[in-house]
Amino acid sequence: METKKPLATVENVQITSKIKGNHLYPVFEGVYSKVTLGKEFTGKVAVKAIPCQDTRDSFANELSIFALKPHKHIVECLDLLQNVELGFGEFKNKKYNLIVLEYLSNKDLFEFVSKSRLGEPVARFYFEQILNGIEYLHDQGFVHRDLKLENILVDSEFNLKLTDFGYCVKHSDESGPILFQGTGSISTEDIMPPEYYEGSCYYGQDMEIFALGKLLMSMVLGITPFMKASKEDKLYSVILSGTWHLYWRKIDSWIMSNKLGSLSPAFKGLIEQMLDPSPKFRIKLQDIRKTSWFLDTKCPDLEEVKQVMMKIKEGN
């Protein structure tokens, strides 16, 4: 799995805004936005700052999700502040739209999976929570389009919540499913489906299933199953050629060399359906819960999952 790039930090800075007075905030820089951690009178909050000059409609996309009825597996938005002029460092005299979010102390799923694979039972427990959040978005007419470990937060009870809705848009209009193409199709390169690399276009729900498949593989294995879904990628090119047995041979060889438990046939079967190069044959979201892996995998309870996650967090 790729190493997460270290986040640049600016200590002891002050935001000039309407967040219940002036407070000191450590600031973290994201890829397309500025992410700030801070304190309110009620405790810590996370503040996502999006430049007012943003051309990706990130703020509007985020707002469309936070306008929906709250969901237990979607991060809670506490407040929205527009056209706030920041008064420190490189941000001074620049205007941002701020999204004030609940602060989740266990950070994101990447922090755990990058240290240890979760294995099939724990991944099965968490995958249901992720599905619950994604199904809710799809039912409301939206696709996330940026599903990755870094965009899944872990709360204090070790439950998961989806976050970062800057790429979240409607998946259909009055004519039917929307074909995303050109600049409108751009998201995180690593999770793009193969149809994107073939013609720079995709349908949102088909793309979402592919991203979920890669996410699930990463959770179970603790490594990324391939870098990107193009013929230039040595691992995914094996899948593109239709030789799944050769792909699994490479994965199983890695598992054996690291003295890990083997993958179940049911898991492999589900992954093949989710990562199918052809969106026509890719499994649909509503059918994932009907698969043998989802139905038959012995799922631990929350207390058992907590124990596993605490050990990973503590480095044991």
- Between CA 168 and CA 184 the distance in angstroms is 11
Above 80 in pLDDT, residue 143? Answer: yes
For position 55, what pLDDT does the model report? Answer: 82
Give the mean pLDDT of 1-21.
33
- What residue ranges do the domains of the chain occupy? 9-102, 109-314
Fold of 109-314: Transferase(Phosphotransferase); domain 1 (1.10.510)
Residues 201-238 pLDDT 10s: 999 999 999 999 999 999 999 999 999 999 999 999 99
> How far are the Cα atoms of 100, 139, 201 from residue 142, in angstroms, in the given order?
22, 7, 17
For position 37, what pLDDT does the model report? Answer: 55
Give the mean pLDDT of 278-290.
97
Confidence tier at 18 by pLDDT (50, 70, 90): very low
Above 70 in pLDDT, residue 46? Answer: yes
Q: Give all strands (DSSP E) within 111-182, no chain letters.
A: 142-143, 152-154, 160-162, 169-170, 172-173, 176-177, 179-181
Question: Does 65 or 6 have the greater pLDDT score?
Answer: 65
For position 32, what pLDDT does the model report? Answer: 39
| Mean per-residue pLDDT of the chain | 86
Confidence tier at 8 by pLDDT (50, 70, 90): very low
Confidence tier at 269 by pLDDT (50, 70, 90): very high
For position 39, what pLDDT does the model report? Answer: 45
Above 60 in pLDDT, residue 38? Answer: no
Above 70 in pLDDT, residue 17? Answer: no
Q: Is 276 a catalytic residue?
A: no
Report residue 51 as tokens: 């430049």
Give the mean pLDDT of 302-314.
96
Give the mean pLDDT of 273-293.
97
CATH architecture of 9-102: 2-Layer Sandwich (3.30)
Residue 74 has what DSSP assignment?
Answer: B
SS3 of residue 66 by DSSP: helix
219 burial level (CB within 10 Å; 0-12, 13-18, 19+): buried
**Residue pair 193/210 in contact by the 8 Å Cβ criterion:** yes
Percent of the chain residues topping a pLDDT of 90: 68
**Residue pair 214/193 in contact by the 8 Å Cβ criterion:** no
- Between CA 79 and CA 60 the distance in angstroms is 14
Residues 185-200 pLDDT 10s: 989 999 999 999 998 8
Confidence tier at 84 by pLDDT (50, 70, 90): confident
Give the mean pLDDT of 70-86.
90
CA nearest neighbour of 38 among 66, 63, 59, 19: 19
Percent of the chain residues topping a pLDDT of 70: 85
- Between CA 77 and CA 161 the distance in angstroms is 12
| Active-site pick, 54, 57, 79, 146 | 146
For position 281, what pLDDT does the model report? Answer: 96
